[in-house]
Structure 1
Amino acid sequence: MAFSTQDSDEVLSEINVTPLVDVMLVLLVVFIVTAPLLTNSIPINLPKTEAVAPVEQKEPLVVSIDGDGKWFINKDAISPDLLQSNLQAAKAQNPDLRVQLQADDGTNYGQVAKAMAAIEKAGITKLAVITAR
């Protein structure tokens, strides 16, 4: 049998590099496997086009309700009862009518809901509710 001649009190000054080599080999395998996936592009010759002017859209109809409960269509004061009939007349002139609904911050939600119901009953499907940031 062979016995060690070194004293057990001495500090071992060698670094065990086996775990470091294992980790580096695993990282190398991971990079080898994932590298081809990063450059997976297909060369395509896309057609060339000319710039086209955007389609002209008509100004939307604006329905507003202020803080005092007054109703407006494009800054013209109206009665809440006449909103649906006015919107139906506007829709008859322009079948692709867009409506924007604006309401004051202090407006009762019941009035806003009533306006939305009148817009829906008038047959308008394009409604935008405008809020402040």
Structure 2
Amino acid sequence: MRRRFQSKTYDEINITPLMDTVFFLLIIFMITAPLLEYSIDVSPPKMEAAEIKADDYTKVIHVTKDKIIQFEQKKNLSMAELLQRLNELKQSRNSKKYKFYLRADRDLRYGDVIDVFKTIKRAGFADISLVTEAEQ
């Protein structure tokens, strides 16, 4: 009696292509996430300006013409909430390395911009710059 060799069937699903796809999507999201920083509509004033070089110690605070404050993806912050978040950031090890950019709408009152500026100063940060759009 002759025996036939039967091929083994595998009951497992090969997940290698799935893992490749997941890692590819993860890399895409990691690259594009920092580019999504300007999520609210703010029109800073136009003037001659240098480009912002962002790093881990660069923080941007947005203020719309309706006085809506956004900091680190949190919208509608009050001055007290902004101060609290800045104080939490101040407790970190390298708090002296932080550089703040205040991106305020051109139609916002000057006094409102100064209020946010003073809140950042009150938290103990000294390196603050105002963001403008480059003239065309």
State the TM-score, normalizing by the size of structure 1: 0.53
Partner of 2:91, secondary structure, is helix
When the two chains are superposed, the root-mean-square deviation of aligned CA atoms in Å is 1.8
Distance 2:118 2:131 in 1: 16
Structure 1 unaligned segments of length 5 or more: list them: 1-55
Per the alignment, residue 66 of structure 2 pairs with 68
Higher radius of gyration, 1 or 2: 1
How many percent of aligned residue pairs carry the same amino acid?
22
- Name the structure 1 match of 2:107: 106
Q: Which amino acid aligns with 1:131?
A: T
State the match for 1:122 in structure 2: 123
Task: Please tell me the residue identity of whatever aligns with 2:79.
Answer: P
Task: Please list every run of at least 4 consecutive aligned residues from structure 1 whose deviation after the TM superposition is greater than 6 angstroms.
Answer: none
Q: Which amino acid aligns with 2:88?
A: A
String of CA shifts for 1:37-85, please: whole Å, max 9, x gaps. xxxxxxxxxxxxxxxxxxx942411111001110110332111222112
| Larger RCO of the pair (alpha carbons < 8 Å, separation 6+) | 2
Residue 83 of structure 2 is matched in structure 1 by 84
- Residues 98-123 of structure 1, C-alpha deviation per residue, up to 9 Å, x if partnerless? 11100001111111000010011100
* Structure 2 portions without partners, runs of 5+: 1-53
Give 1:126 deviation, angstroms.
1.2
CA–CA distance in structure 2, aligned partners of residues 120 and 104 of structure 1: 20
Contact 1:84 1:122 in 2 (8 A): yes
Aligned residue pairs, count: 78
One-letter code of the match for 2:74?
A: D
1-side partners of 2:100 and 2:90: how far apart? 10
